[in-house]
Amino acid sequence: MVPMIGVRNHEAKKIMKERMKLGDQVLFYHSNCKTPGVFALAEIAKEGYPDYTAWDTKHPYFDPKTDESNPTWYMVDVKFIRRLAHPPTLALIKHLASLASSASIPDEISYIGKEGLEAIGAMQLVNRGRLSVQPVEKDAFDCIVKFGDRGGWDDLVEQKGRGKGKGTATPKTSTPTPRKVKDRAIEAPRTNREEVAENPKPMKADCKADARSDKAKVKQKEPPVSKGERRSKRIKLN
């Protein structure tokens, strides 16, 4: 049993404080990793109570605007139940959500039915900014558990990945353009977004390198100094 400390979003805090009840089932979602997805099942072991790390000055989640007599942040205790044999990935969930309005269901996940596919498409995980804590409807919860227990959906994600590779190939360049930097900032992990989007050093370095290259070219074009001629008479280039 572990406390879910450090939640500093008011909407997520409200869910833990008011909506999570003892015995509620939980999908344990890994987000800060190479392949985000649902990796385990858990349950609420203790309902919402003040997050004591908020007033601990030595703790990374310390918040000077709250105190023990007037707590702002809350948390719950979660008890581990079991791991999922085939963790449903975010890529799978997003792909299935895109098929929710389709008339047909892929054979690999036909066992969830049309209603199950629609439930996946309605998940907050794929329809809004992802909170660290968010509610999941029962139909969607059951589908995720089925994916995790039965598997067999790997080909769906692989086919989607292969489809992205079709079309004209984009040549690789050593120096990314500003547009590519922006795209990477959108797709990069959260912990890296500010670093990718706001760090201008690579661009400045490239500019300096180009300037040095231009100077080198100019120097090479200067006429050689003839023997006996004073250097002060060399042609100056503006």
Q: Which fold has domain 2-155?
A: ph1033 like fold (3.10.590)
> What is the tens place of the pLDDT at every residue in 138-166?
999 999 999 999 998 988 887 665 555 44
> Structure tokens of 162?
């292969």
What 110-114 contacts at long range (C-beta under 8 Å, 24+ apart), as own/partner pairs, is 111/146, 111/150, 112/143, 112/146, 112/147
pLDDT the model gives residue 203: 40
Mean pLDDT of 107-123: 94
Least confident of 17-26, 109-118, 157-166: 157-166
Give the burial string for 196-227 (b: 16+ CB within 10 Å, else e). Answer: beeeeeeeeeeeeeeeeeeeeeeeeeeeeeee
Which pLDDT score, from 0 to 100, does residue 92 have? 95
Percent of the chain beyond pLDDT 70? 66
Could you read off the pLDDT of 45-66 as tens digits, one per residue? 999 999 999 999 999 999 999 9
**pTM for this entry:** 0.65
Structural domain spans, the chain = 2-155
